Amino acid sequence: METLSIVDQAKENLEKELRETFPDTRFFITSYEKSYKEGDISSLDICWHVGPARKEIDLIAKKYRSEVTFLQCFRFFSEGNETNTWVIA
């Protein structure tokens, strides 16, 4: 059995928590990890269409911020192609 990286573990836990909290919303979460000689970079990107507000997602997602370099959220709206994007600090 393969051991998951910290980033992949965070991704799985975040997906589970978002599904349980917002069962009617479909989330797409991607993880990224890259090692450079200057240091490692990792990120989790959370995408969803309509559904929960930014504050609701922030409350859950910020729990995983310490496990990655970047944590970004992308919320897509039904009117046109409007996108609301932010980085959780």
Q: Name which of 69, 78, 62 is nearest 31 in CA terms.
A: 69
Instruction: Provide the token pair at 54.
Output: 């930014």
Q: What's the chain's average pLDDT?
A: 81
Structure tokens at 42: 């990792």
CATH topology for the 6-87 domain: GMP Synthetase; Chain A, domain 3 (3.30.300)
pLDDT at residue number 79:
55
**What's the pTM?**
0.78
Q: Are 27 and 47 in contact (CB under 8 A)?
A: yes
Kindly indicate the confidence band of residue 12, based on its pLDDT and cuts at 50, 70 and 90: very high
Token readout for 78 is 């039904």
Residue 80 has pLDDT above 60, yes or no: no
Cβ atoms of residues 62 and 77 within 8 Å: no
Contact by Cβ (8 Å): 60, 14: yes
Name the pLDDT band for 20 (thresholds 50, 70, 90).
Answer: very high
Model confidence at 86: pLDDT above 60: no
